[in-house]
């Protein structure tokens, strides 16, 4: 019988995170202070983050040791399994070999606790007792609520209104782990109240929810802000995924020709891909593919520019592909991919042609999700289903070219709390939205006059 799962023992858990900044051919450009236009220093960030995370944000060390206490919590679900998707290969009728790394086995159901646990740990060690954050799909909010509960911290979650309404059980999950949760925009912050006054019916966006969580943390000494994606230290924590996958692909006796992941802010994609991009920089031939929604096509159609990470311009200026900080993406069901920007490390690697990106319509993505569930069994999160569709497209193109490829993708989470989205798909109610050119031009006006990356 051929093997389906490749499993590592707990003793094989990677003990270091991989920092791609040490190997990048073009160093990422600095994050700027919006008032002075100068690079931000540790002191500028200290009101929001503990010093250890600020140091990881700017570290040039190729590897960062993972503290024992974090490894101990990781063993609740790590190492995660790597699967050969034989049944999917058959259902798709492809000659290519498809593998996937499954992060949905974590208690909250996605890759997000890999960084939530690390962030809660460093905050606690530096004396903070409360964290504030945003959440889109609810995966990040539940991951941080879970991590805070395990480490004994309070947690406040601002959940994008459309997801708050679409996913009542993510809310219940966040409450089960003891966190406070409100729909965003909310009445609890100044920027939330201002947005509600102007746009009372807004579905919300990650950009707005980030503004609220940052304002919350900046106003209280006991509170740090915690971000579930985009920042260098978040991507760093996720690299445990790709390091495990490297070992598991070796167990399977293969090396991927293609590595695929979905991209919201970029953390699950980077987590799987960066250890492979390290190999690519060292000379191996790998196609690294980032998959995003056509409704929020940050990497494929956004500008590489300096922009704010949030709608109310409370964050520093970040060099990234952006659709403009006041862009509110259409309410597609992949709530975790509705972000106007993307991680600067990924943006820079796209600029340097080490990563490429594609954008997909949601009915194609859901068709791929159902094909996957029907063959492999697991019901994927709509976000992760973008990577499934990207993988199937790679396999189809390889078949057409008469080639066989080995494709590895990240199944970043399960979709057990996304069944309303599946219901809409089965009822034929999903709208296929590709971002309109005029709306894109309008939204990009917001970054006029900001500094331009070198
Ligand atoms: C399951 C899942 N995958 C992917 C994402 C996108 O985030 P990121 O690009 O940071 O991995 C999310 C975000 O909420 C998610 O819940």
Q: Per residue in 361-392, pLDDT tens?
A: 999 999 999 999 999 999 999 999 999 999 99
> pLDDT grade, residue 256 (50/70/90)?
very high
Q: Residue 23 pLDDT > 90, yes or no? A: yes
Task: Check if the beta carbon of residue 413 is closer than 8 Å to that of residue 109.
Answer: yes
Residue 417: pLDDT band (50, 70, 90) is very high
Instruction: Check if 166 has its Cβ closer than 6 Å to any atom of ligand 1.
Output: no
pLDDT at 334 over 90: no
For residue 231 and ligand 1, the question of a CB distance below 6 A is answered with no
Helices (H) and strands (E) in the chain, counts: 19, 15
Residue 296 pLDDT > 90, yes or no? yes
pLDDT at 338 over 90: no
pLDDT of 312: 87
Residue 266 beta carbon below 6 angstroms from any ligand 1 atom: yes
Residue 240: what pLDDT?
98
Sort strands 406-411 and 97-102 into parallel, antiparallel or unpaired.
parallel
- CB neighbours of 58 closer than 8 A, spacing ≥ 6? 42, 232
Q: What is the pLDDT of residue 120?
A: 98
**Mean pLDDT throughout 162-169?**
90
> Ramachandran region of residue 267, left (φ > 0), alpha (ψ -120 to 50) or beta?
alpha
Q: State yes or no: pLDDT of 236 exceeds 90.
A: yes
Confidence tier at 331 by pLDDT (50, 70, 90): confident
Ligand 1 near 229 CB (within 6 A):
yes
Q: How many Å separate Cα 140 from the centre of its chain?
A: 9
Q: What is the pLDDT of residue 81?
A: 98
What is the pLDDT, as a whole number, of residue 376? Answer: 98
110 lines ligand 1 (CB under 6 A): yes
Ligand 1 atom 5, closest CA: 336
Atom in ligand 1 nearest the alpha carbon of residue 413:
1
135 lines ligand 1 (CB under 6 A): no
137 touches ligand 1 (CB under 6 Å): yes
CA distances from 12 to 9, 98, 344, 432 (A): 5, 24, 31, 43
* pLDDT of amino acid 115: 98
Instruction: For residue 436, give Cα distances in angstroms to 101, 251, 323.
Output: 34, 46, 12
Atom of ligand 1 nearest to the CA of 263: 9
Q: Which atom of ligand 1 is nearest to the CA of 229?
A: 10
Matching residue, tokens 């991680």: 343
Q: Select from 114, 239, 383, 418 the residue to mutate for testing ligand 1; criterion: most ligand atoms less than 8 Å from CB.
A: 383
Residue 333's pLDDT is 82
Are 347 and 319 within 8 A, CB to CB?
yes
User: How much of the chain exceeds pLDDT 70, in percent?
Assistant: 100
Residues 212-218: what's their mean pLDDT?
Answer: 95
How far is Cα 189 from Cα 70, in angstroms, rounded to an integer? 32
**Which band of pLDDT confidence, cut at 50, 70 and 90, is reported for residue 89?**
very high
**Beta carbons within 8 Å of 87's beta carbon, 6+ residues apart:** 375, 376
Q: Ligand 1 pocket, 163 CB below 6 A?
A: no
Mean pLDDT of the chain: 96
Q: Taking 80 as the threshold, does the pLDDT of residue 1 lie above it? A: no
Q: Closest Cα to atom 13, ligand 1: which residue? A: 336
Q: What is the average per-residue pLDDT within 109-114? A: 98
Rounded to the nearest angstrom, the distance between the alpha carbon of 37 and the centre of ligand 1 is 31
Whether the pLDDT of residue 307 is over 80: the answer is yes
| Ligand 1 pocket member 139 (CB < 6 A) | yes
Ligand 1 atom showing the smallest separation from residue 414 Cα: 1
Cα–Cα distance list, 102 to 97, 243, 330, 378, 418 (Å): 16, 13, 28, 10, 17
Q: For residue 138, give the ligand 1 atom closest to its CA.
A: 14
Q: Which of 86-100, 272-286, 332-346 has the lowest mean pLDDT?
A: 332-346
Judge if the beta carbon of residue 104 lies within 6 A of ligand 1. Answer: no
Q: Residues 387-411: pLDDT tens digits?
A: 999 999 999 999 999 999 999 999 9
* Token pair listed for 418: 């996304």
> Residue 336 Cα, ligand 1 centroid: separation in angstroms?
5
Looking at residue 127, its pLDDT comes to: 96
What are 389's strand-pairing partners? Answer: none
CB contact at 8 A, 131 and 153? yes
In the beta sheet, which residues pair with residue 124?
A: none
For residue 330, name the pLDDT band (cuts at 50, 70, 90): confident
The yes-or-no verdict on residue 182 having pLDDT over 80 is yes
């Amino acid at each position: 019988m051929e093997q389906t799962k490749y499993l590592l023992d707990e003793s094989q858990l990677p003990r270091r995170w991989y920092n791609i900044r040490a190997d990048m051919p073009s160093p990422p450009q600095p994050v700027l202070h919006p008032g002075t236009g100068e690079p931000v220093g540790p002191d500028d960030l200290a009101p929001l983050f503990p010093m250890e995370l600020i140091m990881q944000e700017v570290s040039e060390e190729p590897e960062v040791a993972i503290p024992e206490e974090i490894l101990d919590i990781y063993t609740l679900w790590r190492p995660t399994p790597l699967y050969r998707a034989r049944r999917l290969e058959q259902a798709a009728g492809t000659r290519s070999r498809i593998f996937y790394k499954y992060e949905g086995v974590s208690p909250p159901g996605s890759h997000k606790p890999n960084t939530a646990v690390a962030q809660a740990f460093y905050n606690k060690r530096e004396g903070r007792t409360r964290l504030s954050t945003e959440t889109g799909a609810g995966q990040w909010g539940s991951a941080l609520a879970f991590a805070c509960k395990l480490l004994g911290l309070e947690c406040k979650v601002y959940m994008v209104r459309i997801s708050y309404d679409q996913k009542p059980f993510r809310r219940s999950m966040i409450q089960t782990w003891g966190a406070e949760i409100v729909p965003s925009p909310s009445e609890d912050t100044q920027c939330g109240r201002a947005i509600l006054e102007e746009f009372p019916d807004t579905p919300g966006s990650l950009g707005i929810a980030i503004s609220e969580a940052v304002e919350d943390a900046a106003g209280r000494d006991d509170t740090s802000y915690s971000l579930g994606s985009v920042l260098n230290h978040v991507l760093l924590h996720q690299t445990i995924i790709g390091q495990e996958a490297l070992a598991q692909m070796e167990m399977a006796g293969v090396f991927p020709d293609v590595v695929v992941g979905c991209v919201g802010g970029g953390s699950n994609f980077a987590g799987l891909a960066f250890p492979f991009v390290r190999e690519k920089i060292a000379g191996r031939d790998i196609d690294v593919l980032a998959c995003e929604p056509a409704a929020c096509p940050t990497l494929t159609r956004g500008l590489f520019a300096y922009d704010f990470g949030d709608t109310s311009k409370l964050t520093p200026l970040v060099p990234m592909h952006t659709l403009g900080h006041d862009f509110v993406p259409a309410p597609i069901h992949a709530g975790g991919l509705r972000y106007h920007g993307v991680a600067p490390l990924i943006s820079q690697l796209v600029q340097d042609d080490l990563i490429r990106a594609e954008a997909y319509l949601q009915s194609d993505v859901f068709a791929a999700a159902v094909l996957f569930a029907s063959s492999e069994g697991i019901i994927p999160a709509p976000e992760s289903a973008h990577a499934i569709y990207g993988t199937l497209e790679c396999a189809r193109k390889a078949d057409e070219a008469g080639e066989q490829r080995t494709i590895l993708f990240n199944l970043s989470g399960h979709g057990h709390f996304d069944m309303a989205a599946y219901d809409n798909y089965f009822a034929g109610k999903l709208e296929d939205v590709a971002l309109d050119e005029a709306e894109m031009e309008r939204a990009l006006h917001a970054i006029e006059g900001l500094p331009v990356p070198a």
